[in-house]
Amino acid sequence: MPIKVQNGLPAKTALENENIFVMDEARALSQDIRPLEIVILNLMPLKEDTELQLLRVMSNTPLQVNCTFLMVSSHVAKNTSASHLNQFYIYFDDIKRKKFDGMIITGAPVENLPYEEVHYWEELTRIMEWSKTHVTSTLHLCWGAQAGLYYHYGIPKYERKEKLSGVYCHRLLHRKEPLVRCMDDYFYCPHSRYTEVRKEDVLKHPELVLLAESDEAGVFLVMSRDGRQVFIQGHPEYDRMTLANEYQRDLQKGLNPKLPCNYYENNDPFSEPILSWRNTSGTIYCNWLNYYVYQVTPYILEES
């Protein structure tokens, strides 16, 4: 899929070096195609890393995708330069009258706080409410999934005894759903979190379907039955080195972290991590874009 990116976005060079087809705005305008309009609310601290990860995993379909990066106005990012944010990001007020084919809400490093104590929670809830009428389908990741399940369905999160970090095995529960089409019965995906939503709370809501879970990591993939809300309590978008970088960061903070599970060969933190989830990640994002966005979104968005 040709990913349309803004001129000068640093991720463009990195993607091209990986032999991923990207096009700039000038070339995209020369094609007589309406691209899918995807808005990405990026709440992660290392925003450029997350941009690259998400653009990479959306590059596996023949659809043209135009990504708009969104940031909250009630929080000042400390780990991304102001010049990058000013050039490539916009605020909710800039788009609240527009409609989008799809939306992605990322995770955020605030999971140990009650939702209402996150200082941008009110703004986030306005965005999530807006998405119900202005977005065809919304994909929530990790803390974004927990926040979405809490806001839309009142499902609580719980603190774990210790951080869940590693690559875990999951089993598929509902093969006939298009979101998991072509996936294996068992598959691997990264997790990195201190909190969790639990299966028994999800199952109390008949309007939700639990699509995949893990004995070790718990709930993984949940979807509203109309496909308008998708929740992934994990990080399929992570690249090979993301968990390693997080592990080293926690070491430097003196947190005495455990090695990420099922990640380093022979549990050797000096070895190159094993990449075992790339196909799963590409399949999930491809299926979401195709079956829950492209196949159901109107050609003229404002008519939806």
152 is catalytic: no
Q: What number of other Cβ atoms are within 10 A of residue 302's Cβ?
A: 8
In angstroms, what CA-CA distances link 85 with 109, 118, 196?
19, 21, 30
Q: Which listed residue (37, 196, 237, 246) is catalytic? A: 237
Q: Is 192 labeled as ligand-binding?
A: yes
For residue 4, say whether it is annotated as part of any ligand binding site: no
Q: Catalytic pick from 196, 213, 235, 246?
A: 235
From 67, 142, 189, 286, the catalytic residue: 142
249 labeled part of a ligand binding site: yes
- Dihedral, CA atoms, 289, 185, 204, 197, nearest 10 degrees? -80
8 A C-beta contact, residue 100 and residue 38: yes
For the question of residue 235 being annotated catalytic, the response is: yes
The annotated binding site for substrate is made up of: 163, 192, 249
Known binding-site residues equal 163, 192, 249
Catalytic residue annotation: 142, 235, 237
